[in-house]
Structure 1
Amino acid sequence: MKALTLKQPFATLICLGIKDVENRSWQTAYRGKLLIHSSTKPYGNLKDSLLIEKYDHIDFEYEKLDSIEFINSAIVGEVELIDIVTDSTSPWAQQGKYHWLLKDPLLYEHPILNVKGHLNLWKFNM
């Protein structure tokens, strides 16, 4: 199955359905289910990651995330990649990027631990 590596907290936010767009500098012809892999190193402190300038316009309830464990180096869930556009109206969409439109998020109750990620889309055998 195809997998995509992201830094935390964004990997988990996608699997929770909070982040509905992934911004990339590249596109792919692939559409379908994607495993979401969290990279070894997180983006930074959770709140600091979401307060940086490009996300400060998003209405976000941080207290809801206090009980969530943000695991690194793991397949944390899955999502459906339905399209790639450049004009998404999602608050997560960044100007000048390809907007990967995501639906049907699922955060795994038991992540697949100790998985090494890769650049671009990559194949993970379950």
Structure 2
Amino acid sequence: MKALSIRQPWAWLVIHSGKNIENRTWRSHFRGRFLVHAAKGMTRQEYDEAKAWAYVCGALEIPAYEELKRGGVIGSVELVDVLDHSDSPWFMGPKAFVLRDPQPLAFMPLKGRLGFFEVATAHD
């Protein structure tokens, strides 16, 4: 199954709080369900900036910095489109990966990679 690394707390927001856009600089032809990998790296400044943005977007309260799982899979979501613009409050551009149907999963430690990458699953 494909996976995509997303930095925290953005990954948590995708799975738990209605973040329906993942902003990227690149386009993808992939459509379908993928695993959300919470990247290992996260600075306090990144956390604080994301928390402020999430508040403006009406998101749920983000867990404390120390409580966010990092360096593994936290759920899955479906990629349904890639747009150059979106009216979603989560859109910052330049490309909008349109997401739907997030599903939390038990944390699975895993090293991330750039772009979409393959992860062996029980069905493989």
What range is the shorter-chain TM-score in? 0.7 to 0.9
Q: What is the count of residue pairs matched by the alignment?
A: 119
Report the TM-score, using the length of structure 1 for normalisation.
0.83
Other structure's SS at 2:44 match: coil
Contact 1:7 1:43 in 2 (8 A): no
| Structure 1 unaligned blocks of 5 or more | none
**Correspondence 1:45-124 to 2 at 5 A:** 46-51=47-52, 55=53, 58-60=56-58, 64-66=61-63, 69-95=67-93, 97-108=94-105, 110-113=106-109, 115-124=110-119
Alpha-carbon distance change, 36 to 104 in structure 1, aligned in 2, over 3 angstroms: same
1:67 is displaced (CA, Å) by 7.4
The one-letter amino acid of 2:68's match is F
Report Cα offsets for 1:1-25 as digits up to 9, x if no partner: 0100011001111011421100000
Report the TM-score, using the length of structure 2 for normalisation.
0.84
1:58 is displaced (CA, Å) by 2.2
Moved over 6 A (4+): none
Report Cα offsets for 1:60-97 as digits up to 9, x if no partner: 356x33479410001000000000001210001014x1
Alpha-carbon distance change, 41 to 102 in structure 1, aligned in 2, over 3 angstroms: same
Q: Please tell me the root mean square deviation across aligned C-alpha atoms, in Å.
A: 2.2
Cα distance between partner residues in 2 of 1:74 and 1:58: 27
Alpha-carbon distance change, 92 to 43 in structure 1, aligned in 2, over 3 angstroms: farther
